[in-house]
């Protein structure tokens, strides 16, 4: 599979920093304002390097440096994509006044007023808008909407850029402090009270069937997955990047382990999932 390089440029204040953060969460190795004098070295790293970080790279640059950067990567055996961000004149003025940041062209003495700086970049971006490059106007775009659009344009997989950690634990050792949702399954049948099962963990088939075959567990899983099916989709819409679901039983050795394994198996086909059995040892 070809290595992917996304070149990001556009109006100062149009959202390049925010976009780079979203691309990083999506799995890209992000490089901001890389010196054009060192592009040859970067190009060699991406093409020939063995570092997996360079499999998918996003490079952000000013409009002034775009042409040089684009020429450095065009024509190579890469999946090269270009994204241009823009926003209306009035919106850019409002953003700079609200953040009280200086425009880069003011800092470099290429403009003497904010109005002039925006005008210069309008001219620089004009030619790029008439190409096949992807362009996004962020004037009225909310952060969640920008993230959704970037996922559709540059997503590395069909799964949303949203990760879930499923954690099993024992209440006797305390609740995981980073949990967003905690479910108590101490009401489910407990293998601990079966002497021949006590020493076997929730990772074994015998414990798995002991817990899952009980009607009470099946009823609980049906209600739990119905709730998660809905709520996880809503968290994705709200732009949340990571979510932790903790499942607790008494010791974190039997019931919670079985249920976490079941949830990872179910949701791993839709989302990027991580699994931790905190108290299994």
The domain that holds 129 is classified in CATH as 3.40.50.300
The pLDDT value given to residue 280: 86
Sign of CA dihedral 159, 163, 164, 167: positive
CB 133 within 8 A of CB 66: no
Residues 190 and 253 grouped into a single domain: yes
Same domain, 63 and 128: yes
**Domain total of the chain:** 2
Strand order, beta sheet including 56-60: 29-32, 56-60, 4-10, 79-86, 134-137
pLDDT at 239: 72
Task: Provide the domain limits for residue 213.
Answer: 163-277
Do 14 and 111 lie in one domain? The reply is: yes
Check whether residue 64 and residue 171 sit in a common domain.
no
Q: CA 5 → CA 69, 144, 146, distances in Å? A: 11, 23, 19
**Domain co-membership, 215 together with 76:** no
Are 198 and 145 within one domain? no
Of 89, 121, 154, the residue at which a domain comes to its end is: 154
Verify that 147 and 174 share a domain, yes or no.
no
**Cα 267 to Cα 216, 231, 260, distances in angstroms:** 21, 13, 10
Task: From 109, 131, 154, give the residue that closes a domain.
Answer: 154
- For the chain, 281 residues long, the average pLDDT of each consecutive 10-residue run is 92 94 93 92 90 93 93 92 92 87 85 88 81 86 85 78 88 89 96 92 94 96 96 84 91 96 94 89 73
Q: In terms of domains, do 147 and 175 share one?
A: no
Domain co-membership, 96 together with 225? no
Domain boundary (115, 134, 154) is at 154
């Amino acid at each position: 599979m070809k290595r992917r390089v996304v070149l990001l440029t556009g109006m100062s204040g149009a959202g390049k920093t925010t976009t780079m953060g979203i691309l990083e969460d999506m799995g890209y190795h992000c490089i901001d304002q890389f010196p054009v004098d060192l592009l040859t070295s970067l190009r060699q790293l991406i093409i020939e390097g063995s570092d997996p970080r360079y499999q998918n790279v996003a490079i952000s640059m000013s409009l002034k440096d775009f042409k040089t950067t684009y020429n450095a990567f065009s024509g190579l055996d890469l999946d090269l994509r270009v994204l241009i961000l823009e926003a209306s004149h009035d919106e850019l003025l409002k953003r700079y006044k609200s953040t009280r940041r200086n425009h880069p062209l003011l800092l470099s003495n290429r403009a003497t007023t904010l109005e002039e700086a925006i005008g210069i970049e309008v001219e620089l971006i004009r030619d790029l808008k008439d190409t096949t490059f992807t362009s996004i106007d962020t004037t009225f775009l909310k952060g969640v909407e920008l993230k959704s659009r970037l996922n559709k344009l540059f997503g590395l997989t069909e799964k949303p850029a949203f990760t879930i950690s499923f954690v099993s634990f024992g209440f006797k050792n305390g609740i995981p402090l980073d949990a967003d949702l905690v479910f108590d399954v101490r009401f489910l049948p407990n293998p601990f009270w079966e002497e021949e099962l006590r020493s076997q963990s929730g990772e074994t088939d015998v414990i798995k069937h002991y817990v899952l075959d009980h009607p009470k567990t099946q009823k609980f899983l049906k209600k739990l997955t119905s709730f998660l099916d809905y709520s996880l989709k809503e968290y994705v819409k709200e732009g949340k990047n990571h979510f932790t679901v903790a499942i607790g039983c008494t010791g974190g050795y039997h019931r919670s382990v079985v249920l976490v394994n079941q949830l990872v198996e179910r949701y791993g086909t839709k989302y990027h999932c991580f699994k931790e059995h905190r108290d299994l040892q």
